[in-house]
Every structure is written in structure tokens, then in C-alpha cells.
């Protein structure tokens, strides 16, 4: 089975995770895919294949050298985003993309156009895997899984390539921020690892946001509007007041690069009660802490205005910028850079405007930067995957294993 066939087989599985669940995995259908992958890893010849009750799948490709070498790991997630349907994914291959519009669904007029998505043009002449315009594709992160599995198969088929022990880990629930929570870092037993969960070719990331979630509850007082003066407290209006106090130039739609933001993720309510949820993001730890203090002070000001207890704030840190954990072991990045260069890929080191399982794993003692998997326009029907990029990502995994076998601390 080649890498394309492997990927097309994986996306048949609906593995959408759910933010509303309290179980791990958050959806039973993720476990269906995990069991399938377990059988596949055993069939291709990997050892120590283990699937735990939470849907975390681990396996080993034993080393073929007598030298003492580091143990390196490769990680990808099995779930797809709750943002768009992952049921009945019906991909097709556009051969030798000509640089024009790609009609995904003629019935509803869904078109993947370089006018809207200019990144398409960088892949002119390549074979692309696209959706039928109804679902996401699932390259995030089934492309990463396919690349890792295919790389392990390649190494087994080429025993002349010297490598140490290699560990593979596939986890659920990355898309809802819970992918690393029950990952068995100690049992994984790696000196370092890489998530294969980035985007376009050459991406290498070891910086991400510091992230927090804020839940705000506003208690109102409903009174007949005809007699409301000096009595009514309109919770939903206070919610809009709070949003108006937020810095309007520090929203996701107004920021880029290393600029942080406050994102109003959701708001609902009526006069009696309103709730709001925010994402707080910044690459700089001091600025991140200042943002949390800023929203705390805004809530305090509203309580001073409308009465103590009117507005309550629940603030929870989600993850931190993994840079501080990767910088002390920069050989991990140097190896990835060399692997890309050896396979004809130009590395593009950039900061993630988001998070990654690797961030949480890095803070749990497993340095874990992120490498491109090839998918573009994640989480929706305009997602596409250039086949040559997926093949290059697989080659990079193989090359990292070769270089790591020669590493001397």
C-alpha cells in the first residue's frame, strides 16, 4: 500500500471530536479508527503495539544498530475538527493542477479558487487531494498518520538504513485541546519527539501561543420594562458592554505574526443571565499574563459599577509557549532542519498562531516541535493536500531517523 492509498483509506473514518463530552476519547468513533490502526501497525510489523482504554495508540520500530542512540518519537492525532463535518468524506485527486478554479461541488457552487486561496498556486502542476465540498478532508492530521506509518514501512523495507529505536504515538482529541492530557510520556520513553501536524511544505515550528480560556457569567435582574427604572439589570447588555471595553485592535481578525489577541468565542443570554467565553492568546509570557490581568480588571470594574457578584470570571490556563522548553535542546531543531535540507525541502521556521499537542508534551518533559504534514486550509471543505508534500514529509521522517542514529550528545 502506498502513502496515498493509506491516506485515502484513513479519511473514510469519521473521527470528529466533541467539545461537549467529558470522556476520553470524546467520541466513540475515534476508538473505531484507533482499533483499525492498531491492527494495521501490527500487520506492517511494528512491535509493542498498545492501545489503551482512552484511545492512545503506541508502537515501536526496534533499532537495527548496536550503537547507543537516542530514542526518537513521531506523533499525530486521530481526531478531526468539530468545525466541519467529517462524515462521508469523499476525496478526489486533481491531477497536475493547472492553476485555475477547482469545482468541488457543482450542485451548490462550491469552488476552490486561487483568487481566494492563493496558496494553491504554489502547487501548480502537482497532484492534489481535495474534498467534494461537503466535508473537511481530514489531512489534519490523517496525513501525519499516513506519513509516519509509511516511513516505518520504508525503514523496514530498507534495513541498510541504520536507526535506533523509534516510537510512534497516535492520540485522540487534539482538536479540542485534550490530546496530550493522557499521553503516557514516561511509557513512550523518548528522548525527544516530533508532531507531524503542520501545514504546507517546509514548516517547522517550536513556538506557539501561551493560551488561556475565560468563562464569564453575568447575573441580571429581570423587571417589567414599564417599571424597570433603577431596578432592571440587563445581563446581556452588560455582556455587550464588556465586549465593547475589549481592545478592538487586538482581535484575531486584526492581528498576525507574534501579535496576541482576545477572541470572543461565544456569547448567549437574556436579561436574567448571560455567559461569554473568551480565548486569550500571546506568544510573549509577560504579555500573556498582562492580558489575563486586563480581563480580570475589566470584570472588577463592572462589579464596582453594577454591584459585587454581578459578573464572575473563571480563568483557566490551557498551554504555554513550548519555545522555553525546546531552546535548551536546540539539536532537536537542528536535526529537523538538516533532514529537510537533505530531502530537498527548504525549512521555514515560524511561530504557530495556535497550539499543538507538542506544546503540552514539551512542558511534560518531552521536547516536541511540529513538522509539516502537508494539508492546507484545515477544518473546512476547502482543505486540500498536495501529494508531493505528503511524500516529502514521509522522507523527512526517514531522514530524521537516519540523522538521529548518528547523533552524539
Among candidate residues 140, 141, 147, 174, the one labeled active-site is 174
Q: What are phi and psi of 261, to 5 degrees?
A: -160, 165
Show the cell assigned to 271: 436579561
Burial string for 262-297 (b: 16+ CB within 10 Å, else e) reads bbbeebebebeebebebbbbbbeeeebeebbebbee
Residue 174: active-site member: yes
The one-character DSSP state at 341 is H
The one-character DSSP state at 27 is S
Residue 101: active-site member: no
DSSP readout, 156-211?
HH-TTS----EEEEEES-GGGT-TTTT--HHHH--SEEEEEEE-STTEEEEE--EE
Q: Is 273 helix (H, G, I), strand (E, B) or coil?
A: strand
At which residue does the C-alpha cell 464569564 appear? Answer: 216
Among candidate residues 79, 147, 173, 205, the one labeled active-site is 79
* 8 A C-beta contact, residue 192 and residue 70: yes
How far apart (Å, rounded) are the C-alpha atoms in residues 151 and 77?
Answer: 16
Closest to 77 in 3D by CA, of 169, 190, 203: 169
At which residue does the C-alpha cell 468513533 appear? Answer: 29
Beta-strand relationship, 348-351 and 203-207: parallel
Enumerate residues 6+ apart whose C-beta is below 8 A from 220. 232, 233, 234, 235, 236, 238, 269, 270, 271, 272, 273, 274, 310
Closest to 378 in 3D by CA, of 170, 200, 191: 200
Catalytic residues, by residue number, are 79, 174
Amino acid at each position: 500500500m502506498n502513502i496515498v492509498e493509506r491516506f485515502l483509506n484513513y479519511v473514510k473514518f469519521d473521527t470528529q471530536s466533541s467539545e461537549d463530552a467529558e470522556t476520553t476519547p470524546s467520541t466513540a468513533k475515534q476508538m473505531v479508527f484507533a482499533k483499525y490502526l492498531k491492527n494495521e501497525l501490527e500487520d506492517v510489523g511494528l512491535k509493542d503495539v498498545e492501545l489503551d482504554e482512552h484511545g492512545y495508540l503506541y508502537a515501536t520500530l526496534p533499532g537495527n544498530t548496536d550503537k547507543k542512540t537516542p530514542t526518537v518519537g513521531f506523533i499525530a492525532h486521530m481526531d478531526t475538527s468539530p468545525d466541519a463535518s467529517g462524515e462521508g468524506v469523499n476525496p478526489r485527486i486533481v491531477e497536475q493542477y493547472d492553476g485555475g478554479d477547482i469545482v468541488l461541488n457543482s450542485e451548490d457552487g462550491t469552488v476552490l479558487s486561487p483568487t481566494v486561496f492563493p496558496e494553491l498556486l504554489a502547487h501548480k502542476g502537482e497532484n492534489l487531494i481535495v474534498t467534494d465540498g461537503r466535508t473537511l478532508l481530514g489531512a489534519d492530521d490523517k496525513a501525519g498518520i499516513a506519513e509516519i506509518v509509511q516511513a516505518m514501512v520504508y525503514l523496514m523495507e530498507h534495513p541498510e538504513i541504520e536507526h535506533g529505536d523509534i516510537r510512534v504515538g497516535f492520540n485522540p482529541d487534539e482538536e479540542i485541546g485534550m490530546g496530550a492530557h493522557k499521553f503516557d510520556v514516561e511509557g513512550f520513553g523518548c528522548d525527544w519527539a516530533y508532531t507531524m501536524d503542520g501545514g504546507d511544505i517546509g514548516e517547522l515550528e517550536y513556538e506557539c501561543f501561551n493560551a488561556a480560556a475565560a468563562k464569564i457569567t453575568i447575573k441580571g435582574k429581570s423587571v417589567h420594562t414599564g417599571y424597570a427604572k433603577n431596578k432592571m439589570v440587563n445581563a446581556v447588555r452588560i455582556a455587550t458592554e464588556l465586549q465593547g471595553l475589549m481592545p478592538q485592535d487586538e482581535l484575531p481578525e486584526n492581528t498576525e505574526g507574534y501579535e496576541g489577541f482576545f477572541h470572543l468565542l461565544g456569547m448567549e443570554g437574556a436579561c436574567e443571565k448571560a455567559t461569554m467565553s473568551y480565548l486569550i492568546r500571546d506568544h510573549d509570557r509577560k504579555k500573556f499574563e498582562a492580558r489575563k490581568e486586563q480581563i480580570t480588571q475589566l470584570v472588577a470594574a463592572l462589579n464596582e459599577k453594577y454591584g459585587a457578584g454581578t459578573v464572575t470570571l473563571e480563568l483557566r490556563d490551557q498551554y504555554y509557549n513550548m519555545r522555553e522548553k525546546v531552546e535548551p535542546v536546540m539539536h532537536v531543531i537542528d536535526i529537523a532542519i538538516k533532514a529537510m535540507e537533505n530531502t530537498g525541502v527548504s525549512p521555514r521556521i515560524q511561530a504557530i498562531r495556535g497550539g499543538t499537542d507538542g506544546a503540552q508534551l514539551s512542558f511534560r518533559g518531552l521536547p516536541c516541535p511540529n513538522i509539516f504534514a502537508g494539508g492546507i486550509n484545515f477544518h473546512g471543505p476547502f482543505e486540500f493536500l498536495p501529494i508531493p508534500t505528503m511524500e516529502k514529509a514521509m522522507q523527512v521522517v526517514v531522514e530524521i531517523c537516519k540523522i538521529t542514529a548518528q547523533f552524539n550528545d
